[in-house]
Amino acid sequence: MGKVGWIDSHAHLAYSEYDQDLPLIIARAQERNVSRIMIVALSEEETRKAFRLNDEFGMFDVAFGYHPSDLDKIPQGGFETLENMLREGKLRAIGEIGLDYYWHKDNKEEQKEVFIRQIALANRYQVPIIVHMRDASQDTLEILKKHRPVKGGIMHCYSGSVEMAYEYIKCGMYISLGGPVTFKNAHIPKDVAKAVDIERLLIETDCPYLTPHPFRGKRNEPAMVELVGLEIARLREIESDLFMERVYENYSRLFEISL
């Protein structure tokens, strides 16, 4: 899979706000020793763009799924499009998918249905899932228990408790932490960073959102995943290079990428 380096397991680099300076963003990421980036695409259009970017830069994996906040944007035939891409073997994962009761409380049943449908697709095509969860930890857990993702997956930008993290791990999930773990008062993500088995940890930016300290307020980008990694290594009292290697191994194991 290439050289060991930091992994950004969740980046929205197909967003148009990166159109102007993507080569610079890639250069800065490489300068900070980022060796692989998962582009998470939320539409067919973004997915095709992500494929093109990978042809150009060659350091990306691509995930695509219907986000719980975008259910009204799923086009006619949208699930067939997703399935065709899976059949072609071009997607590393389905995501981000899941439940968001913070922004949307009025369509919980529909959110669950779309989530379950996409887990079934992931299982049919033997790929992991990337889960977005906000204010819906119990329902998410129940679905993962009942509709277990056979290839596992990632709880992306995990903001839940240590206890719940253990429950998701039992369902085959990895716990990915992002910028919030670097925030001074973010006690829960820091506790999670210390408590979770190192074999189950991943890191991400979720860029352009959730920029780590001390760059909060600026646009986020993959180079900043290093700040997340350094903070977790500090919290766990291990060498940052060792943590970098462990994350790299975890990512390779989850996505069955040979080292």
Which stretches of the chain bind Zn ion, using CB under 5 A? 206
Using left for φ > 0, alpha for ψ between -120 and 50, and beta otherwise, residue 141 falls in alpha
Angstrom CA distances, 18 to 106, 208, 219, stand at 33, 9, 10
Q: Smallest distance, Å, CB 82 to Zn ion?
A: 17
Residue of minimal CB distance from Zn ion? Answer: 206
CB count in 10 Å sphere of residue 104: 18
φ/ψ of residue 73, rounded to 5: -100, 0
Q: Smallest distance, Å, CB 64 to Zn ion?
A: 12
| Sequence-distant (≥ 6) Cβ neighbours of residue 240 within 8 angstroms | 229, 230, 233, 234
Q: Which is nearer to Zn ion, 134 or 190 (CB)?
A: 134
| Sequence-distant (≥ 6) Cβ neighbours of residue 130 within 8 angstroms | 10, 38, 40, 63, 65, 93, 94, 95, 96, 97, 153, 154, 156
Q: Which is nearer to Zn ion, 74 or 195 (CB)?
A: 74
Q: Smallest distance, Å, CB 40 to Zn ion?
A: 5
Looking at residue 210, its amino acid is L
Q: Smallest distance, Å, CB 115 to Zn ion?
A: 15
Q: Smallest distance, Å, CB 242 to Zn ion?
A: 27
Q: Which is nearer to Zn ion, 5 or 98 (CB)?
A: 98
Q: Smallest distance, Å, CB 96 to Zn ion?
A: 5
Question: What is d(CA 24, CA 8) in angstroms, rounded to the nearest whole number?
Answer: 16
Q: Which is nearer to Zn ion, 195 or 208 (CB)?
A: 208
Looking at residue 49, its amino acid is K
Q: Smallest distance, Å, CB 46 to Zn ion?
A: 11
Q: Which is nearer to Zn ion, 152 or 179 (CB)?
A: 179
Looking at residue 222, its amino acid is P
Q: Which is nearer to Zn ion, 144 or 154 (CB)?
A: 154
Q: Which is nearer to Zn ion, 46 or 206 (CB)?
A: 206
Question: What is d(CA 104, CA 114) in angstroms, rounded to the nearest whole number?
Answer: 14
SS percent in the chain: helix, strand, coil, step 5? 50, 15, 35
